[in-house]
Amino acid sequence: MVSKRFIAKRLLLLVPVLFGVATVVFAILHLSPGDPALTIAGERASQAYVEQVRSNLGLDDPLWEQYVRFLRDTAALDFGQSYQVQRGTAVSSILVDRLPITIELAILGQIAGLLFGLPLGILSAVKKDTFTDHFTRIGALAGISVPIYWSGPLLILLFAQIFGILPTSGRISSSYFVDSTTGLILVDTLLEGNLAAFESAARHLLMPVVVLGVYSMAFISRMMRSSMLEVIRMDYMRTARAKGQGAKITVMKHGLRNAFIPVITIIGIQFGSLLGGSVLTETVFEINGIGTLLVSAIERSDYPVVQATVLVFAFMYTLVNLFVDITYSILDPRIEQ
Amino acid sequence: MSTDTSQSSDVERGFLERVRASPFLEELLSNRIAVFGLVLIGGMFAIAIFARLAYDIDTIVDTMFGTNPTKAAPSAEFWFGTDGQARDVFPRVLYGAWYALKFGTATVLASTVLGIAAGILAAYYGDLTDNVIMRTMDVLLSFPSLLLALALVTIFPEELGLWRAVAALTLVYTPRFARVVRGAALKVLEDEYIDATRALGATDPRLLIRHVLPNCLAPITVQSTLNYGLAIIDIAALSFLGFGASPGDPSWGMMLAEGVERGLFSGAWWWSFFPGLFLALTVLGFNLLGDGMRDALDPRMRDTVD
Amino acid sequence: MTDSSVPSSRPRAERYRALVVGALRWVAVGAVLGTGVSLALLTIWSPKGATDTAFALGALVLGFGVTAWSSAVGLGRTIEGMQERLNVSSGWTEASAREAFFVLSWTGAGWVVAAALTSIALGV
């Protein structure tokens, strides 16, 4: 099973991963032509004022000095204050507000993708080369082809404007006020026992989750189909089929478990695409998560916000993959032996 | 790719002859889904060329306040309605096909060239050079393309407009081509036939270009087709997020961004609906064709990982 | 699952010595690159602009190398196992990835230090 040493080693590896990511982001920000001092001071500010802003931010120091300072502050978990997006606010408090919003969306999207993608992939593999298989495969290709920023507006048009049964954007109707305990709005409304608010939040989340889920579903069903076909081809499956129906069912179970293993690994590795998809989903549905935060911070050269947001992405990505790896070693029969 | 290139006669005959000899085209054309993709793409190319010839870019970008109604619904006069600047959406959507194919082609071409260079360098020098190049490509490949593009696009100055998105995405897609080319190049280098040519005094770069390219033309074509769709969708996504096309440009991504932000919630659905429809159909066309080509090239691959 | 380092018949001390020598070699290469790029950029930009850009480029190599190295160490076994299961081979092995990013990391480190020293020498 999973040894403590394995987990300790992987957690220890977080240090070089985050150091590396921090260094890359720092480098890219300083290679890009955007000038935060000019953005803050405004296009029409005097040269002297821009220089003063630059010097206040420490952006006129040699880059290596800025780098050392940045590493020291980051190691102390001090991400500084936002330059522009929410000027003067501590970046850590912006993240605390916005991060749960994206996590909730990403988790629900992934669950939706798995719920539909896995069965479709298995179905497609078992019924290989039949109409069902072709239909599912074209459906998956269409799911990858239709961009989120079109399927989203389409759903808004249909369900919010023509049928009028779902809200267009945001997270919850403005008539409810919910205290942020966990930041996950479905959990918070339940904690308060406010079922009406919970229903409103769920209705707001439905379309964004579907849009994100379809994208993830398309990917997962393709992977599941490939993996399942590989397992079906294996010898022990053939033998079992020859032995008859009863054995077939037992081995189907075993086969399924074997087919899941590579898919689970890939789910961890493609967690990043889900974050990419949530950037677009949040933009379409006007959800103030970490994705929209990142885009506006990049647009306005808000260095502290970009740095912290990317570090948080990297942190989540690494943790998800650690979690996936633990699941993997539990499922992998070779480890049990 | 598992197309068999181990025999020197295959190398000699080259790609086109092998295609004629192999059931590749026959297989592809018998695949109705791939043919449907081909028809979609053909239609888009026709529309793109028509729009480029029929419309003047200035009249497509200029606002038409006073001349046309603002945000008018689709009608006999304005087939796809008008937008918030009173521009006729129909010619803009058609012109968007020209934009998508022009910038998509540029991205695919540039990443093919860079990928060929990287792949041949890696295969030719081998050892540590090969290892550093290919492992770097693997890491870039493991990033989600949109997030990587978002990081890279900031390095290029804003004045480049859509070319900024092209530059960033070129770097994002290069690894896919590098991997394909390196594989083919290694096979050619291992081939005894090459040793014979080398003994006769052919210079190495000439040798590689002459023999590697014909051998990986097929996988490169499949990769380009799949990447075409991805490039068009990613360029539009970058424009949608504000990194690429400038306001008013007849690019589908920009029309979607403007249409969603300023049209959708006030009921002007046509402003974003039609650009998105054309975008989705184009991308679907490339994906269907690319999938079909891959199946025709190597039927076994259909059953394993992409 | 235990440490995935390659088993070696050589004594431990000798392996460490080889690692240090390798690292030093690539740091030296990086230092040459860092100084070279700084001086080359000096012909078109001010001393601060040139050394800052050289430093940022080095940081890019360093950060990329370190991130990729630690990901390879962390995910190496998983990826190798997955390739084995799916019966595909992309030529990726944990050992090759570690080697490649060892080179990039130390080159980047040398580069960054050299660029910083150049900027101090130029009195930026």
> What's the CA angle centered on A23, arms A22 and A24, to 5 degrees?
95
Chains that touch A (3 or more CB pairs under 8 A): B, C
DSSP state of A287: -
Residue A112 domain flag: yes
Rounded CA separation A73/C98 (Å)? 29
CA distance A193 to chain B (A): 32
Question: In Å, how far are A37, A40, A57, B303 from A45, measured between CA atoms?
Answer: 10, 9, 16, 62
pLDDT at C7: 52
Could you write out the DSSP letters of every residue in A8-59?
Answer: HHHHHHHHHHHHHHHHHHHHHHHHSS--HHHHHH-TTS-HHHHHHHHHHTTT
At position A285, the amino acid (one-letter code) is F
CA distance C13 to chain B (A): 24
Please state the separation of Cα A137 from the chain's center in Å. 24
Q: In which residue are the tokens 């606002």 written?
A: B63
Q: Does C96 touch chain B (CB under 8 A)?
A: yes
| Residues 31-60 of chain A whose Cβ lies under 8 A from any Cβ of chain C | 31
Rounded CA separation A257/A128 (Å)? 19
Rounded CA separation B222/B291 (Å)? 8
pLDDT at C68: 92
What ipTM, to 2 d.p.? 0.87
Rounded CA separation C69/C109 (Å)? 14
* CA-closest candidate to residue A137, choices A44, A217, A240: A217
Contact between B241 and B225 under an 8 Å Cβ cutoff? The reply is no
Rounded CA separation B137/A44 (Å)? 43
Question: In Å, how far are A51, A317, B251 from B57, measured between CA atoms?
Answer: 41, 44, 12
At position B186, the amino acid (one-letter code) is L
CA distance B132 to chain C (A): 5
CA distance C99 to chain A (A): 16
| Residues 214-233 of chain A whose Cβ lies under 8 A from any Cβ of chain B | 222-223, 226, 229-230
Q: Does C81 touch chain A (CB under 8 A)?
A: yes
* CA-closest candidate to residue A109, choices A9, A209, A232: A209
- Whether the per-residue pLDDT at C37 is higher than 90: the answer is yes
Contacts of C92 in chain B (CB under 8 A): 135, 138
Q: Can you say whether the dihedral through the CA atoms of A9, C13, C108, C117 is positive or negative? A: positive
Contact between A188 and A182 under an 8 Å Cβ cutoff? The reply is yes
List, for residues A7-31, the tens digit of each pLDDT value.
Answer: 888 888 899 999 999 999 999 999 9
- Whether the per-residue pLDDT at A232 is higher than 90: the answer is no
The whole domain housing A238 covers 101-284
Of A3, A23, A230, the CB nearest to C62: A23
Going by pLDDT thresholds of 50, 70 and 90, the confidence category of residue C9 is: low
Please name the residue of chain A whose CA is at the shortest distance from the CA of residue B305.
Answer: A226
Q: Please give the biggest Cα pair distance in chain C.
A: 58
Q: Does A335 touch chain B (CB under 8 A)?
A: no
B88 forms bridges with which residues in the sheet? B82
Going by pLDDT thresholds of 50, 70 and 90, the confidence category of residue B194 is: low
- B144/A269 CB distance under 8 A: no
- A270/B144 CB distance under 8 A: yes
CA distance A248 to chain B (A): 22
Residue A115 domain flag: yes
Q: Does C71 touch chain A (CB under 8 A)?
A: yes
Contacts of C88 in chain B (CB under 8 A): 304-305
Q: Does B305 touch chain C (CB under 8 A)?
A: yes
Please name the residue of chain B whose CA is at the shortest distance from the CA of residue C87.
Answer: B304
DSSP state of A81: B
| Residues 36-75 of chain C whose Cβ lies under 8 A from any Cβ of chain B | 64, 68, 71-72
pLDDT at B291: 83
Q: What is the CA radius of gyration of chain B?
A: 22
Query: What CATH number should be reported for the domain holding residue A260?
Result: 1.10.3720.10
pLDDT at A236: 63
CA distance C57 to chain A (A): 7
- Whether the per-residue pLDDT at A164 is higher than 80: the answer is yes
Contacts of C1 in chain A (CB under 8 A): 2-3, 6, 329, 335
Q: Does A183 touch chain B (CB under 8 A)?
A: no
pLDDT at B7: 41
Please name the residue of chain C whose CA is at the shortest distance from the CA of residue A14.
Answer: C70
Contacts of A32 in chain B (CB under 8 A): 154-155
Of A6, A265, A269, the CB nearest to C1: A6
Please state the separation of Cα A85 from the chain's center in Å. 22
Of C87, C88, C100, the CB nearest to B135: C100
Q: For chain B, what are the domain ranges?
A: 25-299
At position B27, the amino acid (one-letter code) is E
pLDDT at B199: 62
Q: Hey, what CATH class is B25-299 in?
A: mainly alpha
Rounded CA separation A323/B13 (Å)? 51
Among A222-226, A259-263, B249-253, C55-59, the minimum mean pLDDT is found in A259-263
- Whether the per-residue pLDDT at A174 is higher than 90: the answer is no
Tokens of C99: 């080697």
pLDDT at B5: 38
Rounded CA separation A47/A53 (Å)? 10
Of A142, A272, A294, the CB nearest to B144: A272
Helix axis angle for A4-31 and A303-331, nearest 10°, is 150
Chains that touch C (3 or more CB pairs under 8 A): A, B
- B305/A270 CB distance under 8 A: no
Q: What mean pLDDT is reported for chain A?
A: 86
Q: Does C122 touch chain A (CB under 8 A)?
A: no
Q: For chain C, what are the domain ranges?
A: 24-121
Domains of chain A: total:
1
Rounded CA separation B13/B186 (Å)? 18
Residue A44 domain flag: no
The secondary element (H helix, E strand) that includes residue B150 is helix B145-153
At position B296, the amino acid (one-letter code) is A
Among A4-18, A107-121, B144-158, B197-211, the minimum mean pLDDT is found in B197-211
Rounded CA separation B114/B121 (Å)? 11
List, for residues B93-108, the tens digit of each pLDDT value.
Answer: 999 999 999 999 999 9
List, for residues A88-126, the tens digit of each pLDDT value.
Answer: 899 999 999 999 999 999 999 999 999 999 989 888 888
Residue A262 domain flag: yes
Residue A228 domain flag: yes
Q: Does A329 touch chain C (CB under 8 A)?
A: yes
pLDDT (average), residues C49-64: 94
Contacts of C97 in chain B (CB under 8 A): 135, 138
The secondary element (H helix, E strand) that includes residue A332 is none
- B151/A28 CB distance under 8 A: yes
Q: Does C121 touch chain A (CB under 8 A)?
A: no
Contacts of C90 in chain B (CB under 8 A): 138, 179
Contact between A208 and A285 under an 8 Å Cβ cutoff? The reply is yes
Residue A100, classed as helix, strand or coil, is: helix
User: Best residue in A149, A274, A313 to probe B by mutation, most B CBs within 10 Å?
Assistant: A149
Could you write out the DSSP letters of every residue in B164-180?
Answer: HHHHHHHHHHHHHHHHH
